[in-house]
Amino acid sequence: MNIPNSSTAPTAGEYAGDEVSAIVLDPGYSTTRAGFAGEDVPKSVCPSFYGQSDSDSYLFGENAIHSPVGNLNTKNYWGSDGIVEDWDAATKLWEYSITSRLTGARAGDPAKNGLNDDPRANGESMDVEMEGVENNEKPMEDSPLLVTEPGWNSAKAREKYIEIAMEDWGVPAFFLQKTGVLAAFASGKASGIIIDVGASHTSVTPVLDGMVLRKGVQKSPLAGNFVSQQIRQTFKTASPEIPLTPHYLVKSKTQVDAGAPANATYKTFPVAPSASFRLNEEERVLTEFKESVVEVWPGPGRFTNGTNEEIAKSAPGRPFEMPDGWNNIFGSERFRVAEGLFDASAALTSEANPRPKDEWTIPRLVQAAVQHVDADQRPLLLANIVVTGGSTLLHKFNDRLNFEINAIYPSTRNKLIAPGSVVERKYAAWIGGSILASLGSFHQLWISRKEYEEHGASIVEKRCR
Amino acid sequence: MPPFKDDQIIVIAPGSETTLAQLGLPESFTPARVRIRSRMFPAEKGGEFEPYKIRRRQDKPVEKPAEQDGEAQGEAKPATAGDDDIIWEEDRISEEGAIWPIQDGKITDWPCFFALISHVYNTLNPPFHTAILLITQPSWTPREHEKLTQFFFEKFKTPAFGLMDAALATTWAYGVHTATIVDVGKGKTDITAVSEFIPHVQGRIISLSGSGGEAFTETLHFKLKSKGFNRDICEQLKKSPICEILPEGTPLPGSGKADEEVITNPAAAASTGAVSSGPAAAAAVGNAPRGPGPDTEVGEEDGGENEGVLDVASIVAGGKMNEYLAKKEKEKQDKTNAKKKGAPVPDANKPVRLPNSKREKATFLYEDHALLDALKNTNLDTQGMADAKAALDEGPTKKASEGENSEAAEANGTGEAASATSRSGHIRREMEVGTERFLAGSNGTLEKIADAIHRAISSVDEVNKRSELWDSLIICGNGSRLRGFKEALLQTLQSKYLISPSSATIFTSEIPSNISTPAGTGANTPQPQLGPHGGSGVNPLLFAATTAQSQNLMPHGSNPLMPGLSHNAHSSHGQTPTSIKTVKPPEYFPEWKDVGFDESAFLGAQVAAKVIFVVDQGQSKGYMTRPDYNDQGPQGIHDYSL
């Protein structure tokens, strides 16, 4: 029902008569979010992982990547530096996320909507008959598009974004904005420090009056995936080793005693799914583990300090059951796996995973970011610390962050702004984009198709700062 | 004064297989009055569609019969023939060359879909001032909603129009605010977690392909191909009451033993095992044993005969029909003779009748569409046609079976009961199948759906909602009508995903090492240990134990409509699910009870239509009015739809 409450979108009249129905696209390492501007949640959230079979065809979407099929490699289009690496896949996946849930495929046969085309063949044929069929090939020609980018995006990558939008999708107008700024907007702030702990990267972005201080942007690979890796290592080094069996391998499980070996029936496959598929499915189990077991040591002090570890040991453990029925209770280990985010020396290491650098930890990132800001602006920033990203949902994460920041910058004015609702925390950048793109006054900022045609892709450097 | 009266409301629920519609809301909500197969036939003119197949009938036998298939005839221009002997007739049964505009829930052919909706609208023939509520499939995008809005306002000039999500409609039907809707359709399954009447868009499983009713047919077809069963036969086998999914671990009749390695939850097996329990079985009880129906003639035919008979259509097409009919006649005679000898009173139920799951073989009646099409293509005159039909029809004593079959059809969702004429044309033949009929779900379909349910619920962001969502599954959709499917799905979920209370939390293994075993005097009994954040001051062991099991201890379902009764009120959260249950269907819809709640989305839509159009007099903005549309255009629909 449409009784207005805090979470309903404003009515048409309230935001300067927005009639453009812009699309906001917020690609992340774990999921790619897309939706219409002016709405409060992205309508389309699809995994950034995709399947690629031997025959080079792409498979997108939740349903496709979770079905155990042989010869299917699960991949991600992001590079290890937090910049899009595989542009072909990225373009297709973004297009899928928009057309599958928002606009619908263009009328007509699926052979023409670009999703099923071989990239090379498509490019060639387009050159030949550009004029005649152009309109049928472009999926988004009536929606302006706002795309988010990480704060450290390269100039080349930024030009690539606008090229995809203008050339491949035929959008009428385009804009590129940094996730940090948008996350701040989502919390109603124009200035602040944005701590974004995602899946692949943690970033700290100082924002002043809606502008990112580029020098101050800090990033590190200690984020959700790092915690997963720590959990894996905990499992591996436990004695006896804790088996990590994803759901798809298990046919049925039976109850066993805590710590006892699993007693389950397993499935067999004619063609075993690939290792990358298994890795992605294991991640599902680890996510569940993070949600229900892992806890950040809330302070005071670090986990390894003094008697803290002893206290943690005597705290009640949390039980966890694996898909194959193995279960046990986790005591102090559950604090340990997330400690590396704050204290590099506490991270579990192995040969493949050396000790993370000290300056990668979240407190040091914040410190480095604040260092780049004029001294008189620092209190303003520290009074607006916006916490966002899916990995900040780890239990007690904010308590610890609060403690760490107060330890570096003792003040009573430091303030963490962490939206209580999970949706707002996870999709803050998208929500900010949704707000921005639906503002009447934003319309003059769009880069129109005409401007693009006049100035070329480099216009994005001038206009989107 | 409400803006609309009860009888001025149309509810339409398009589906991949069947489109449901109704004009007017009755006092007590009934299943949809109009059921139309969701398909149209291309008309002579490109881009136009006809609701029935148009076939050229010729009263004179022509020179080149048989080879011409229906499509070729449809394309033939009347101008070229130009003779008087060509008459176009509507063929209400054949589905040859049909276009199904909705595939896997998605609208793939918009002109055809619009034609279908127009046909539905014309069938209802509503008066001018009629509001329309349309059920939307989850896979329809917002842009498509706008397109639909535009179509309805501009084509039908409707005064008010509303959209309602199918999953949401189902929760309305059940009268619950939080539930996981598993909608098993024709070619796909949609899984939606709805909490507090809001469907979770993120992580919603939309159109999980290859997991609907079609998948079962495919599996049956795959298993039975070697025996000469074609797809159509398998489809009908699936709908017949003898096809079912047995609970895991139940031995197939004849094989004598269960799969040894299968470990079943005895409790689950007990609750699902009995074939004679559960609504599906109850519905079937009325159909199966009455009269000399299919189920009562066990094993009187031998399989060898069937194999020869199966391809009657090609015999007929090949022009050897008369020979075949003679043979058939003889067989019939033999059979009746045998029957007379064997069972003197065929009408009485046999005293000892094994339940379906125990029998190795069973028979069902099959309506041979291909044969009928072939017959029509041979261009017999009306009389010859009727004779041939009568001769080929194996259905027991036509009149009696007519009633029975249409009843069975209702219960099993063939959806063809729309018009009486369409039924009388069928040619029924008797088929026998072995244990393959229990293997419809053997293709991993159940596991696929179960995994998708787990994903859908796991992606719900409010962690404390998840256990409630697991406790309120609603399995609906006509694909789930297959007997035993719901029970089997529940069992799969339970055996794979249920988290059992960990033995570690029951005070045995987790007594901290710094505490010695309690002495008899009670001196060493563990005292509450407070960590710095230990919280509420309870014994930590007790805390751990209750965190893991609180869901089990809490009474469920006592008042599902009471909001705020969160089962998992801890700040931290445990793993889910610790229990998996389905929601009981509502009991106050007597008309729905008989047919089952598989189409409950339609029921929910009626409830919603009553509420938004009539009861709250347009206050809730649940629909868009004509002036609204004129002001805001199609985009405005997003502010109004439920």
Q: Alpha helices, DSSP H only, in B36-129? A: 70-75, 78-81, 110-124
Handedness of CA B184, B187, B193, B198 (dihedral sign): negative
- pLDDT of A178 over the 80 cut: yes
Residue B578: the pLDDT is: 84
Q: Other CB atoms closer than 10 Å to residue A63's CB: what's the count? A: 21
Are residues B262 and A252, on separate chains, in Cβ contact within 8 Å? yes
| Contact across the interface for B505 and A248, Cβ inside 8 Å | no
- By DSSP bridging, strand B473-476 and strand B624-625 are unpaired
* Residues from chain B contacting residue A295 (CB–CB below 8 Å): 572
Contact B201 A41 (CB under 8 A): yes
Q: What is the pTM of this model?
A: 0.78
- Which residues, including other chains, have CB under 8 Å from residue A124's CB and lie 6 or more apart? none
Does A229 score more than 80 pLDDT? yes
A2 to chain B, any CB pair closer than 8 A? The answer is yes
Average pLDDT over residues A117-135: 39
Q: Mind giving me the DSSP string for B105-144?
A: TEE--HHHHHHHHHHHHHHH---SS-EEEEEE-TT--HHH
Q: Before A240, cis peptide (omega within 30)? A: yes
Burial class (CB within 10 angstroms; exposed 0-12, middle 13-18, buried 19+) of A205: buried
Rg (CA), chain B: 29
Q: HEC profile for A220-273?
A: ECCCHHHHHHHHHHHHHHCCCCCCCCCHHHEEEECCCCCCCCCCEEECCCCCCC
- Asked if the ipTM is above 0.90, the reply is no
Tokens of A319: 């039980």
Q: Which of A2, A41, A259 sits opposite B620 (nearest CB)?
A: A2
Q: Structure tokens of A422?
A: 């999970």
Residue B230's contacts (CB-CB under 8 Å, 6 or more residues apart) are: B221, B310, B370
In this prediction, residue A380 carries a pLDDT of 92
Enter the DSSP assignment of B576: S
Question: In this complex, is the C-beta atom of A1 within 8 Å of any C-beta atom belonging to chain B?
Answer: yes
Euclidean distance between CA atoms B482 and B412, whole angstroms: 8
| pLDDT category of residue A93 using cuts at 50, 70 and 90 | very high
Counted residue by residue, chain A has a size of 465
pLDDT (0 to 100) of residue B310: 52
Contact B543, B533 (CB under 8 A): no
A298 to chain B: which residues are within 8 Å by CB? 533
Tokens in use for B104?
A: 């896997």
> For residue B202, what is the nearest residue in chain A, using CA coordinates?
A45
Whether the per-residue pLDDT at B411 is higher than 80: the answer is no
Q: Helices in A17-172 by DSSP H: which ranges?
A: 62-65, 87-98, 119-128, 130-137, 155-163
Nearest to A169 by CA among A157, A158, A161: A161
A248-277 mean pLDDT: 87
pLDDT of residue A2: 52
Asked if residues A29 and A8 have their Cβ atoms less than 8 Å apart, the reply is no
Dist. CA A137–CA B242, nearest whole Å: 50
In single-letter form, the type of residue at position A146 comes to L
Residues 6+ apart with CB under 8 A from B524: B515, B516, B517, B518
From the list A66, A102, A292, which residue is nearest B575 (CB)? A292
The CB density around residue A271, as the number of other CB atoms within 10 Å, is 10
Q: Burial, B554: exposed, middle or buried (Cβ in 10 Å; 0-12, 13-18, 19+)?
A: middle
- A314 contact B CB<8A: yes
Please identify which residue in the block is written with the tokens 């480095």.
Answer: A368
Give me the mean pLDDT over the B440-450 stretch: 83
Among the ranges given (A109-113, B245-249, B347-351, B441-445), the one the predictor scored with the smallest mean pLDDT: A109-113
Q: Which residue of B has its CA nearest to A32?
A: B202
For B593, the token pair is: 């009870």
- What is the C-alpha to C-alpha distance for residues A20 and A438, in angstroms, rounded to an integer? 8
Which residues in chain B have Cβ-Cβ distances shorter than 8 Å to A104?
140-141, 143-144
Give me the mean pLDDT over the B366-387 stretch: 67
Rounded to 5 degrees, φ, ψ at B7 are -90, 10
* pLDDT tens profile B536-581: 444 444 444 444 443 333 333 333 333 333 333 333 457 888 889 8
Q: What are the chain B neighbours of A423 within 8 Å (beta carbons)?
A: 202, 461
Query: How far apart are alpha carbons B445 and B238 in whole angstroms?
Result: 15
User: CA–CA separation, B325 vs A280, rounded Å?
Assistant: 61
Of A13, A25, A6, the C-alpha closest to A440 is A13
Task: Let me know: does A238 contact A331? Beta carbons within 8 Å.
Answer: no
What is the rounded distance in angstroms from the CA atom of residue A141 to the CA atom of residue A73? 32
Assess whether pLDDT exceeds 70 at residue B313.
no
Report the range of poorest mean pLDDT among B392-396, B454-458, B476-480, B519-523: B519-523
